[in-house]
Amino acid sequence: MGDTRAGQAPTNETVIITGGTSGIGRATAVALAESGSRIILAVRNQEKGQAVAVTLPGTLGTHRVLPLDLARLETVRDFADCIDEPIAILVNNAGVESKDLQRTADGHELQFGTNHLGHFLLTTLLLPHITDRVVTVASQAERMARLDLDDLDWHRRPYQASRAYADSKLANLLFTSELDRRLRTSGSRVRALAAHPGLVKTAIYDRPAGQRPNLWDRLVPILGQEPEDGALPSLLAASADLRGGTFVGPRRMMHMRGGAEVISQSKQARNPETAARLWSISERMTAAGTRP
């Protein structure tokens, strides 16, 4: 849909990045730190987070590491309680892909619970502090989704791991759409955008010994791009003067690699009724803004 040039990332302002210890998240953190942003790495592994933070451009002590496990909603609330400053950009980058049925600490299907619900709660809790935008890393895998709003945690249906992952990525886009609609309706200057990194050589495609690789696992070593390239759509979404609700992805190879531009979403990702209903269900599933 045409190339789009990146704008200026925030200088001397704070950016939160989830899952910034490796892959696309780390590459995003490095690039934004190079532009002068102060980075808060929201990560599960504090040791890995600290090891990354000390390598980021900037003076010692500029960047911080705070614990966050998106599969444990209590830690999401704890993280939000630690934030008492303006946040220019929230980058919802962390994600998981599972090959069998697993559940979060709160009982949700792992991929939906981590990729969508954890970020949904995090964003709604941090929204009063956000001054510029929310960027959520989604995926064109959303085109393979068949989201069942009456069985989001896969209690009734035979489990399909790849379909559950696609559902979580569709949920990311529906969330972005509804969040941006709510922001515009309220008159807020904050906007919500989404990014598709393309095919990237990251740990999400690693498989335990003995586990049979799928088609994507075989393609990544051959066609996958480096994390620094996979971060380009996130960086464009974080810096360019794009309208809210925009989806950014690679330019080439059917949006699988190469640069970044505005790309299209599937019809189901653009359904406002589904987006609004998913928001309401997500509020109930996370008890957003409350503690048990």
Determine, yes or no, domain membership for 108.
yes
What per-residue confidence (pLDDT) applies to 4? 46
Determine, yes or no, domain membership for 5.
no
Distance of alpha carbon 194 from alpha carbon 217, whole angstroms: 24
Q: Output the CA angle 121-126-129, nearest 5 degrees.
A: 165
Q: Tell me, yes or no, if 159 is annotated catalytic.
A: no
Determine, yes or no, domain membership for 49.
yes
**Domain of 241?**
14-285
For residue 191, give both structure tokens: 């906007």
What per-residue confidence (pLDDT) applies to 181? 98
N residues, the chain: 292
What per-residue confidence (pLDDT) applies to 140? 87
Determine, yes or no, domain membership for 4.
no
Contact 110, 96 (CB under 8 A): yes
Determine, yes or no, domain membership for 1.
no
Q: What is the tens place of the pLDDT at every residue in 110-137?
A: 999 999 999 999 999 999 999 999 999 9
Structurally, how many domains does the chain consist of? 1
Chain centroid, CA 72 distance in Å: 16
- Using the Cα atoms of residue 42, residue 46, residue 47 and residue 48 in order, give the sign of their dihedral: negative
Q: What average pLDDT does the segment 258-262 reach?
A: 88
Q: For residue 70, with 0-12 CB atoms within 10 Å meaning exposed, 13-18 middle and 19 or more buried, which class applies?
A: buried
For residue 218, give both structure tokens: 């075989």
Q: What is the tens place of the pLDDT at every residue in 134-163?
A: 999 999 899 999 999 999 999 999 999 999
Determine, yes or no, domain membership for 9.
no
Distance of alpha carbon 80 from alpha carbon 260, whole angstroms: 31
Determine, yes or no, domain membership for 128.
yes
Catalytic residue among 79, 112, 154, 165: 165
Distance of alpha carbon 256 from alpha carbon 223, whole angstroms: 9
- 252: domain CATH number? 3.40.50.720
